[in-house]
Amino acid sequence: MSPRSYRLLFLLLPSRFRDEYGQELGEVVEDRWRVVQERGGIASKMRSWVRETVALTRLALRLRLGLEPDGAPPRGARRKTTKRGWEMNGWGSDVRQAARSLFKQPGFTVVTVLTLGLGIGASTAIFSAVHAVLFRDLAYTDADRIVAVFHTDTETRAVRTGASAANMRDLDESSDRLSGAAVAEPWSLDLFREDRAESLRTWSVSSGFFDILGADLELGRAFLPEEYVEGNDRVVVLGHRGWTQYFGGDPSIVGRVFTLDNEPYTVIGVLPSEFALPDEAAAWIPRPPKSGDAPSRAADYMFGVARLASGATLADAQAEVDRLALALAESFPRTNAGVGMRLVPLREHLFGDVSTPLYVLLSAVGFVLLIACANVAGLMLARGAKREREYALRSAIGAGRGRLVAHVATESFILATLGCALGVGLTYLGVRVIQGLGPDHLPRIDELRVDGAVLTFSVVAAGLSAFLSGLAPAFKLSRPDLRGALSDGSHGSRGGRKGNRLRNRLVVLEVAAALVLLIGAGLLTKIFTILVNEELGFDPTDRVVIQFFANGYEEEELRQFVDQTIENMEAIPGVRAVAITSSVPGATDRTISSIEIDVPMRIEGLAPPPEGQEPITFISQVSASRFETMDISMVAGRGFDDGDRAETPPVVIVNEALVRRHLGYEDAVGQRIGVPWGADEDVWKWHEIVGVVRDVRPLGFESEPHPEVYFPFTQMGTTSLTFMLASDTDAGPLVAQASQAIWDVMPTQTLWGATTLETLLGDWLKERRFNLVLLSSFAIIALLLSAVGIYGLISFSMQQRVGELGIRRALGGRTLDVLGMVLKEGVALAAAGVLLGVAGALVLTRFLAGMLFGVEPTDWPTFGLLALAVLTVSSLATLVPAIRATRVDPMEALRD
């Protein structure tokens, strides 16, 4: 709790108390907050927050209800009734009475409990996801002091993929505020098993890596300092999954020797299953310093990690790292000019991009809970009004204000308890749905479960619902006009304008909240359809991708291998086209690695910019059929063909983004661009642009397509290769056949990943669909609940006005007039709600901005359409009671 949010609660206090004690309360809580923050973790903060909030709310309620003496001198009589006796007696009979009256009105009770249960269940299920993903302790020692390190572009402030080994070593050696810094380099080791080689996903980690993370190994030990030396480094630590998947979870694995990449490696340890940094791999090996590290300081594809020294804050460390980065840029201008380094807390690194959607969902579900509460409050109010005489009578025979309030409070408490029970049941169901629906890479989604914290949340949510739904009726009762209720023999139209006003406000709020949710969901839906249908720029259906790293081939050997394999693949029935490419759009490193190579480039005819400031472009090497295989259309010029060979003039194809950004919409075909060539500095090789292709949106950098340059595979070789097949039939079964086609040519070739393009995109699409489905269902639940709320309110208001309606009818009011009158009342409320909702959405959709690319947060068609929908549903909800009102029999109504 920040003291500031605590001060907001002061609004609940009566102004007299606030003036007298508000200042001190604030100071006390600030002092307490300071202590809690020093002491502790998120759990103790939460606990303290909840306790303080509950205590203050309770105080406010007691003061407001007059249960707390209000400055009057003590009255002996009141003191003599010992408080305890009064309460015990009161609670017991309150519970009995409340239960009896709820039981007598099963309709009301069932609707209320269902409403609350839905609200509590949905919010608890989402909370469980947020809790599992964001709040639970990480498996690393003192994880809050671990940071991930990224190179940044000092000019654009863009964060790069990772960090380089040499820069991280300098941090390790020169930094006082970091107790250690290390890198993990993506690696692969071939393991021969059953006559077939398999690629083990491996991280090659520099000295200090496991110390920084504070890993507790499940078996064995981590690397010793002397094992980070060339020659002693043939040791391997297995990841938990690698251990079970490849070695059957053999408990005696430590000490055994395996041949990996034709070298004997000794297994020295096994990591626990929670250990997944940089991600879940099969193996970790030591990475001795390499001679190539120093010249390739710009190679920022490695995962950098560091630990804050004791006593150092993140800001301290960042300031120091900034200074070091500047010094490095001066010493190594060629590689480090314009390169900054950013420290990112581990939690943020792991969960940063999932936290926003989860918070959005959590607030959405908060809205649903609020609507549910408003509904129940409305129902209770309506019920309270009907029982005004009952309360008046009770009061007349001596029940104090407190007793009446206690009675209502007990009712909402019982309802909330039942709702909570139902909600917990729904939570179990909801958690299962989330797991089924959730993206696989939502971190730790498999750890999702209903545990103590989650149950606590549901109880808090239930308590809150009881409080919120009982609040309005209780307040109303605390200022009753009891005499009026008793003396007024009829129960005509005086249900109290005041009571109606309160109920009206509730309905307006409900409608507004529902609309906000609908608009949020509507915007996401719109983006989703745009993404899926239009923005990919290529067709992912029935495409197979198989990635491998062709190490150890002579150039000619590789060409033959590739040609022969392509021939084999083309012979598979159903295959329409085969291509080879170094980059796969949509690759996210999970199944297929994304090979992102960015290089500086120059444009012929323009003065070269100063070193280190050249425009950057992604490059890929592709075969002639690559664009056709992906259905990427040419915008201008030609594709590659057999005429583009090693000995012919070098050519490239570029994408629209590159033309747009760097060639200024001029005719790109025929222009020449240069890229650095070979190991020598300052040798630029010039390539003629022969074609321009449409942009694809390689998923992951979702907002803007990057400039890309494609080289013909025949002119610029690479060993990072992916076969890409387009087929006329279902691609699923083709994956195995295509893999076999490779092994037919080269039985020992390991495959890094083989899958369909749709599966690859699936993960990514799934995440969006997940957010979308959940948000939409909340929005629909919210709309339904609001409709029920409006229906209930209007029905009730009509019931109260039976007499008035009867008179109107008796005086010759036509059916249509009555219908119009009632409808008008409902529609006016709905319209007010819609206006408020649009205003709310204008503000709240800003928070969605990060999830909205290509759609303005203020998308008027969406706003308009959904506002209309809400208005329609609300009007329909009014229609039923309106029709009923026209059927009022004037005689009966007047007699009553």
Site residues (CB under 8 A) for another protein?
17, 20-21, 24-25, 27-29, 31-32, 51-52, 54-60, 62, 68-69, 71-74, 76, 79-80, 82
Nearest approach, Cβ of 234 to another protein (angstroms)? 54
Distance CA 842, CA 522 (A): 13
732 touches 756 (CB < 8 A): yes
In sequence order, what DSSP letters do the residues of 60-80 get, joined into one string?
A: HHHHHTT-S--SPPP-HHHHH
Number of residues that make up the chain: 896
For residue 768, report the phi and psi dihedrals to the nearest 5 degrees.
-70, -40
Nearest approach, Cβ of 498 to another protein (angstroms)? 29
Nearest approach, Cβ of 245 to another protein (angstroms)? 48
Q: Between 27 and 451, whose beta carbon lies closer to another protein?
A: 27
Residue 676 CA, chain-centre distance (Å), reads: 40
Q: Between 87 and 176, whose beta carbon lies closer to another protein?
A: 87
Distance CA 789, CA 795 (A): 10
Q: Between 16 and 685, whose beta carbon lies closer to another protein?
A: 16
Q: Which residues contact 726 (CB under 8 A, 6 or more apart)?
A: 542, 543, 575, 576, 577, 578, 628, 629, 630, 631
Nearest approach, Cβ of 68 to another protein (angstroms)? 6
In sequence order, what DSSP letters do the residues of 238-272 get, joined into one string?
A: E-HHHHHHHHTT-TT-TT-EEEETTEEEEEEEE--
Q: Between 20 and 567, whose beta carbon lies closer to another protein?
A: 20
Q: What is the helix (H) or strand (E) element at residue 594, kind and residue range?
A: none
Apex 163 CA angle, 159 and 167, nearest 5: 125
Q: Which residues pair with 537 in a beta bridge?
A: none
In sequence order, what DSSP letters do the residues of 397-434 get, joined into one string?
A: TT--HHHHHHHHHHHHHHHHHHHHHHHHHHHHHHHHHH
Using CA atoms of 397, 399, 405, 409 in order, give the dihedral in degrees to the nearest 10. Answer: -100
Q: Which residues pair with 189 in a beta bridge?
A: 200
Reference 206, options 244, 168, 251, 160; nearest CA is 168
Q: Between 73 and 452, whose beta carbon lies closer to another protein?
A: 73
Q: Between 89 and 259, whose beta carbon lies closer to another protein?
A: 89
Distance CA 333, CA 331 (A): 6
Distance CA 498, CA 99 (A): 28
Nearest approach, Cβ of 56 to another protein (angstroms)? 4
Nearest approach, Cβ of 600 to another protein (angstroms)? 60
**Which residue type occupies 721?**
L
Pairing of strands 219-220, 235-238: unpaired
Q: Between 60 and 798, whose beta carbon lies closer to another protein?
A: 60
Nearest approach, Cβ of 76 to another protein (angstroms)? 6
789 touches 503 (CB < 8 A): no
Query: What's the first-to-final CA gap in the chain, in angstroms?
Result: 55
Q: Between 28 and 502, whose beta carbon lies closer to another protein?
A: 28
Q: Between 71 and 248, whose beta carbon lies closer to another protein?
A: 71
DSSP 706: P
Residue 137: C-alpha distances to residues 132, 134, 140, 392 (Å): 9, 9, 8, 54
Nearest approach, Cβ of 86 to another protein (angstroms)? 14
275 touches 139 (CB < 8 A): yes
Nearest approach, Cβ of 3 to another protein (angstroms)? 10
Apex 154 CA angle, 153 and 158, nearest 5: 40
Sign of the torsion angle spanned by Cα atoms 712, 715, 718, 723: positive
Helix (H, G, I), strand (E, B) or coil at 740: helix
What burial letters (b/e) apply to 351-378, b meaning 16+ CB within 10 Å?
A: beebebbbebbbebbbbbbbbbbbbbbb
Nearest approach, Cβ of 75 to another protein (angstroms)? 10
DSSP 504: H
Reference 152, options 327, 292, 322, 277; nearest CA is 322
Nearest approach, Cβ of 464 to another protein (angstroms)? 16
Residue 857: C-alpha distances to residues 364, 511, 573, 848 (Å): 16, 20, 48, 7
Q: Between 9 and 819, whose beta carbon lies closer to another protein?
A: 9
Q: Between 71 and 231, whose beta carbon lies closer to another protein?
A: 71
Distance CA 389, CA 486 (A): 6
Q: Between 17 and 246, whose beta carbon lies closer to another protein?
A: 17
